[in-house]
Amino acid sequence: MTDQKLQIIPLGGLGEFGMNMTAIRYADDIVVIDSGMMFPEAELLGVDLVMPDLTFLKENQAFIRALVLTHGHEDHIGAVPYFLSEIDVPVYGTDFTLALVDRRLEEYELEEEPRFIRIKPKQIVDIGPFKIEFIHVTHSIVSAVALAIMTPLGVIIHTGDFKVDPTPTDNELFDLHTLAEYGKRGVLLLLSDSTNSDRPGYTESERAVRPRMEEIFSRSERRVVVSCFSSSIHRIQLVLDLAQEYNRRVAVFGRSMVTVTEIAHSLGLLNIPDGILVRPQDAMDMPPDKVTILISGTQGEPMSALARVAVDNHKHVSVEAGDTVVLSSRIIPGNEKAIFRMIDHMARRGADVMYGTMNPPLHVSGHASVEEMKLILNLVRPRYFMPIHGEFRQLSKHARLAEHLRFAGLEQSFVMESGDILEIDHHGARKAGKVPVGRVCIDSGSVDEVVQEVVIRDRRHLSEDGIVLPIIAINRHTGRIENLPEIVSRGFALAEDGSQFMQTARQIVAKTLESSNQEEKTDWGVMKEKIRADLKRYIVKETSRRPLIMPVILEV
């Protein structure tokens, strides 16, 4: 038996939604699974994307053999450009997943050409000491795979994101047979998706959406506007099929929607009936009962196509009284305000907006519920179990579920958080310390796109307490101030110009200048610091507020 240790190191995606990334290490070889991003919470002001911190991977760059992708959702591939700009290794994934990554990479200038290795389900590849088999799973995006990673110590099964859909719309069934085969032969560790571990029963099949959509198409007398996640190829196919059935043409709006439909069509994953598409600029000229609009922007993102349509600010399309708008997606927690504001705008225009839970459903989840999780646990019967993908409460629920099943062979469940190391050797498995993890905030459009923690803190400070600019004009010959300093404020009410508070504030700045010696007056850095300190003391005492104070000294 070897003395080498096997380490499983989640670098993101545990205890949070998004940023899914896991490193698997055996001796001096590391394979990384997924490299995802997450959208920022409201308190990360001005930040566009959040990526995992790659410190651990950069420190061990020489040992990384490959990046393996399970599917093409942003929370699994969004950070790939950032990853490849730092670490140049081959990237394994299905055709569709790699095509989505390639499209993302167009926005970045990488020094090295990415090395894509396209794989198909049932294929086995050798990467260092690992053999990896790709296993087809059903999910809300096409071409999703689970991984069977054969290591010198045993097999690790990584499910990726999945649900067990018995009737997928593309008839590509979940390959439960292969999972069961591994289960029979013995599995060392199972890493399984926990997103819906708080939902009892089964997740409905993608086909469950058809009856509700059919009903909408059959009764709508005017335009039907459907918004869904651009990666939901099954849902886009359904809209195209129903449009053909009900003799409607389809116009596609939104950059992500156009991109993904083009990719899926070129790979034969989306069947677009001949002559059904119409140019976006012609959609409004057609009879309203003869057109369907397929549009991105389900989450009310400020500049998305649907958000612009809602406020009548789109150059090609608008929503009018009697139109039916369908949000065929879930409301991602944190986006409620933006989405409901967008729905309100469309309702004001007289549109019938359909959203939320109804029966039959407008949207079904792409993640397994409790009964499907039990099925996977019972088929795989791992020796050790580590729930992945979800917030802490979901991970711990999934772990408890495994322990309740009490199937033979399960020795222990590990509820881990990003950065924890799970170490396995022939003595057993244990938590073994931590590696540095964290988040990198990206503000796209800024010079240095990575936003430091201090910048976010300053933005929060400004949003809460505002900014005060004392402006002092100093005669360059005499070193004297020409007149009483001016004070400009934003986001902080300093009262009227003539008010006692304002007058005193100006006098305090003047007094600070007068009481300084000649040497201090010639060092403006010192003068600015003294003004800031004295004015801050006065403002805090009078108002209990702490605005950002930035003295400006002008030579005249």
Domain containing residue 221: CATH number: 3.40.50.10710
The predicted model gives 267-283 an average pLDDT of 95
475 or 91, greater pLDDT: 91
For 345-466, strand residue ranges (E) read 352-354, 382-388, 412-413, 420-425, 428-434, 439-442, 450-451
- What's the pLDDT at 89? 96
145 falls within a domain:
yes
- What's the pLDDT at 445? 47
Q: What is the CB neighbour count within 10 angstroms for residue 187?
A: 22
User: Are residues 245 and 297 both part of a single domain?
Assistant: yes
371 is written with which tokens?
């009964």
User: Are residues 135 and 188 both part of a single domain?
Assistant: yes
Per-residue confidence band for 355, with pLDDT thresholds at 50, 70 and 90? very high
193 is catalytic: yes
> pTM score, two decimals?
0.83
User: Are residues 161 and 187 both part of a single domain?
Assistant: yes
Mind listing the pLDDT tens digit for each residue in 150-161?
A: 999 999 999 999
Mind listing the pLDDT tens digit for each residue in 468-493?
A: 888 888 777 776 777 788 888 887 76
The identity of residue 152, as a single letter, is P
User: Are residues 44 and 192 both part of a single domain?
Assistant: yes
461 falls within a domain:
no
Kindly report the CATH number assigned to the domain that includes residue 429. 3.60.15.10
User: Are residues 392 and 281 both part of a single domain?
Assistant: no
* 496 secondary structure, DSSP code: -
User: Are residues 57 and 165 both part of a single domain?
Assistant: yes
Average of per-residue pLDDT values in the chain: 90
For 21-30, 323-332, 448-457, 506-515, which range has the lowest pLDDT when averaged over its residues?
448-457
Per-residue confidence band for 444, with pLDDT thresholds at 50, 70 and 90? low
User: Are residues 232 and 316 both part of a single domain?
Assistant: yes
User: Are residues 319 and 419 both part of a single domain?
Assistant: no
In angstroms, the Cα distances linking 307 to 85, 225, 319, 354, 444 are 33, 13, 11, 15, 20
User: Are residues 118 and 245 both part of a single domain?
Assistant: no
Mind listing the pLDDT tens digit for each residue in 115-167?
A: 999 999 999 999 999 999 999 999 999 999 999 999 999 999 999 999 999 99
Q: Which helix (H) or strand (E) holds 371?
A: helix 370-380
- What's the pLDDT at 45? 57
Catalytic residue among 193, 241, 443, 534: 193
User: Are residues 332 and 184 both part of a single domain?
Assistant: no
Mind listing the pLDDT tens digit for each residue in 296-339?
A: 999 888 788 999 999 998 999 999 999 999 999 988 877 888 89
Residue 20 C-beta-side C-alpha neighbours within 13 Å: 28
For 254-381, strand residue ranges (E) read 291-295, 324-327, 352-354
Over pLDDT 70: what percentage of the chain? 93
448 pLDDT more than 50: no
479 falls within a domain:
yes
Number of domains in the chain: 3
The predicted model gives 30-50 an average pLDDT of 79
User: Are residues 20 and 158 both part of a single domain?
Assistant: yes
- What's the pLDDT at 459? 67
455 falls within a domain:
no
453 pLDDT more than 80: no
User: Are residues 163 and 304 both part of a single domain?
Assistant: no
Q: Where are the alpha helices (DSSP H) in 63-158?
A: 74-77, 80-86, 95-105
Last residue of a domain, one of 354, 387, 415: 354
Please tell me whether residue 70 adopts helix, strand or coil conformation.
coil
Q: Where do we find the tokens 């959509």? A: 213
Per-residue confidence band for 446, with pLDDT thresholds at 50, 70 and 90? very low
459 falls within a domain:
no
Catalytic residue among 367, 389, 443, 534: 367
Mind listing the pLDDT tens digit for each residue in 180-226?
A: 999 999 999 999 999 999 999 999 999 999 999 999 999 999 999 99
Domain enclosing residue 191, as ranges: 6-201+365-442
Q: What is the dihedral of CA 285, 289, 291, 296, to 10 degrees?
A: 110
126 is catalytic: no
